[in-house]
Amino acid sequence: MKRVIIGTAGHIDHGKTTLVKALTGFDTDRLKEEKQRGISIELGFAPLELPGGQKAAIIDVPGHERFIRHMLAGAFGIDMVIFTIAADEGVMPQTREHMDIIELLGVTQGVVAITKKDMVDEEWLMLVEDEISEYINKSILKGVPLIPVSAHTGEGIKELLETIARLAAEVKEKPAFGQARLPIDRVFTIAGFGTVVTGTLWSGQLNVGDVLELMPAQKSVKVRTLQVHNEKVPVAYAGQRVAVNLQGIEVADIKRGYLLSSPGYLTPSYRVDTRLRLLSSSSRSLKNWNRVRFHLGTDEALGRVVLLDRDELLPGEESYAQLVMEKPVVAHKGDPFVIRYYSPVTTIGGGSIIDAQAPKQKRFKEEVLDELVMKEEGSLYDVVLHELESNSEEIYTSADLAKRTGHLEEDIKEELQQLLEDEKAVAIKNGEYMSVYGLKLINDKIVATLEAYHQQFPLRQGYSREDMRSRFFSRVNSRMFNSIIKYWEEAGTLVNRNNYLRLASHQPSPGARESQIMDELMAMVNKDLFTPPSMEEIKAKLKIDEADFMEILSYLISAGKLVKVAQDSYFSSQAIEAGQEILGAYFAQEKELSLATARDILKTSRKYALPLLEHYDRIRFTRRVGDMRVKMG
């Protein structure tokens, strides 16, 4: 059965609450002060069973100008409106402000209830109907039914219910799939149950046992029980009024304006990019950096308006604008919002969210405006490609892109598949994507860096992979960078060996001069295998500068011709192998070897024998037991 949320709207004392009671049998004025003063202060809620068995929920909002912020908290998320105008007063100030809010939120379905019919005669009723009809037909509710009613006598109530039922059947339901999102409008505690919050579920569904994220506090909470229409249910769906009994949180830690969402779905931000419209009925213009009150869902925040393409927004005009908040807000692309002047507090405009996690934007920049046009109006294919290319050093999953663009992940996957087929995106790993443009930028930078490096250091095995990442791609974490490197390895562009990068086309190789020096060096080291000269002695005899000598030394080590066994102690690989043969023959006859014995059979001194034995320990040829060594294996 379709899930429908109906909101009331209208001037104070135009009979909203009395009408809701006549329709539902529920009195939504629950506070003592409301009873005493005869006006609604807080939001009220009532279940409504329509002719034909359709169930709906009514949100009754206050009409007094002082409580417009409460009206706004209730108006977000409604599917249709019962707009009340009293027959004895007609169109009044809050009638107009409530209509402005309905227009800004894009609510097009509803019915106008001309209340208090019993308080006027037929002639007066006809006059006021003409006035109301003229007003309504210039508003977003143009063409909706106008039904005179009396909540006291019951006249017109049956017709109103039948009309609501007919309109409810035409309501387009909110998506019950995807990520859950519930703005909180009430917080209270129930003895024996604990913390309870209520709200209108905007999207997705809630299940008993779900772990959700309380935003913007970013705390994990668990759903203990759920109620819809005052009945316990295992699942609540988008488009329903829901009471959620939460586990793991105290009432003091939750405020109206917070919301519950699927974990990781939303991110608090101090900046949002928007398309902003100033109402034509606004008595004032809006200037750059004006302070405003921002309303989205049940939340209210103070912020400043940054007009991106002008200095002043006139009534009836619209513009791209960034709103800079004084506290973090939680929004999603496409969300409608309302702004009110800071002082005096009046509703002046609103719009829709384009980027819910916007960077600081510069004014009067064509590239900024072009990007906003793309985000707002571009096809999903173009929007996804733009996200990939704008953040060229990022790797995204389909879930990441769904969150950034405000679209369903299933739709994102379809566009990614098309981008792969069009060779505008690549799958770096299973389920992780980059743009071809971004990947090429990274590859070009790596190739240029390695070409220069190989030319300067032709003997080195390559450039440290982590140094490459931290120096040139600091925005890319190690895991992502490794995935990119692996992609280019598989493409045959790069070689990644021992965490060093080199071009696949490059092989470390010495020239004629370097080869001659290496031959001389190795001859000196191999002349007396177990008493090699120090590298300082060799460098002095070769008459070579420090930098060139270190390059040659590094190459010989990486090529396996020279082994560094200790600080300033190097043996040739020939010496290492010969030593193992000699000691192996010794161990064939004896179980233990002392340092002195090793020195004697290798015909060397303690200076060379000790680091050599320690090297054999490290490669697990020998093992030290006290002052002796035994052969491993």
All structural domains of the chain, each given as residue ranges with its CATH number in brackets, are 4-168 (3.40.50.300), 181-261 (2.40.30.10), 269-368 (2.40.30.10), 369-420 (no CATH), 519-631 (1.10.10.10)
Scanning 457-497, the segments in alpha helix (DSSP H) are 465-472, 478-490
Q: Is the C-alpha dihedral spanning 592, 597, 599, 601 positive or negative?
A: negative
Cα 592–Cα 598–Cα 600 angle in degrees, nearest 5: 130
How far is 59 from 16, CA to CA, in rounded Å? 10
Torsion of CA 168, 172, 177, 179, to 10 degrees: -100
How far is 103 from 10, CA to CA, in rounded Å? 13
- Percent helix, strand, coil in the chain (nearest 5)? 35, 30, 35
Closest to 239 (Cα-Cα) out of 59, 73, 3, 7: 3
H-helix or E-strand spanning residue 85 = strand 80-86
Instruction: Say if residues 85 and 19 touch (Cβ distance below 8 Å).
Output: no
H-helix or E-strand spanning residue 187 = strand 186-190
Cα separation values, 132 from 35, 61, 119, 135, 206, Å: 29, 21, 17, 5, 41
Q: How far, in whole angstroms, is CA 578 from its chain's centroid? A: 62
Instruction: Say if residues 605 and 621 touch (Cβ distance below 8 Å).
Output: no
Contacts of 569 (CB under 8 A, 6+ apart): 608, 611
Which pair of structure tokens corresponds to residue 149?
């009613």
Neighbours of 63 (CB within 10 A): 26
How far is 20 from 228, CA to CA, in rounded Å? 18
Phi-psi region of 468 (alpha: psi -120 to 50; beta: other; left: phi over 0): alpha
DSSP one-letter code for 178: S
Q: Is the C-alpha dihedral spanning 409, 379, 436, 368 positive or negative?
A: negative
> Coil, helix or strand for 59?
strand
Cα separation values, 629 from 336, 564, 594, 600, 614, Å: 79, 21, 6, 15, 10
Residue ranges of the chain with per-residue pLDDT less than 50: 31-42, 64
How far is 158 from 616, CA to CA, in rounded Å? 98
